[in-house]
Amino acid sequence: MTAAPETSRTACLLVRDAADRAAHHAIRHAVFVTEQGVFAEDDHDVHDADPRTLHVLGLVGGVPAGTVRLFPLEREGEPAGDWQGDRLAVLADFRTSGLGAPLVRFAVATAAAHGGRRMIAHVQPANETFFRRLGWTRRGEPEMYVGHPHLLMDIDLQAAAGRG
pLDDT at 1: 36
Task: Report how far residue 85's alpha carbon sits from residue 32's, in angstroms, rounded to the nearest whole number.
Answer: 15
CA end-to-end distance (rounded Å), the chain: 29
pLDDT at 77: 60
Say yes or no to pLDDT of 4 above 50: no
pLDDT at 158: 86
The model's pTM: 0.89
Could you tell me the pLDDT band of residue 3, with boundaries at 50, 70 and 90? very low
Mean pLDDT of the region 56-81 = 88
Q: What domains sit in the chain, N to C, each tagged with a CATH number? A: 10-163 (3.40.630.30)
pLDDT tens digits for 8-42?
599 999 999 999 999 999 999 999 999 998 888 99
pLDDT at 162: 72
Q: Which residues of 132-164 are buried (b: 16+ CB within 10 A; e: fewer)?
A: eeeebeeeeeeeebeeeebbbbbbbbeebeeee
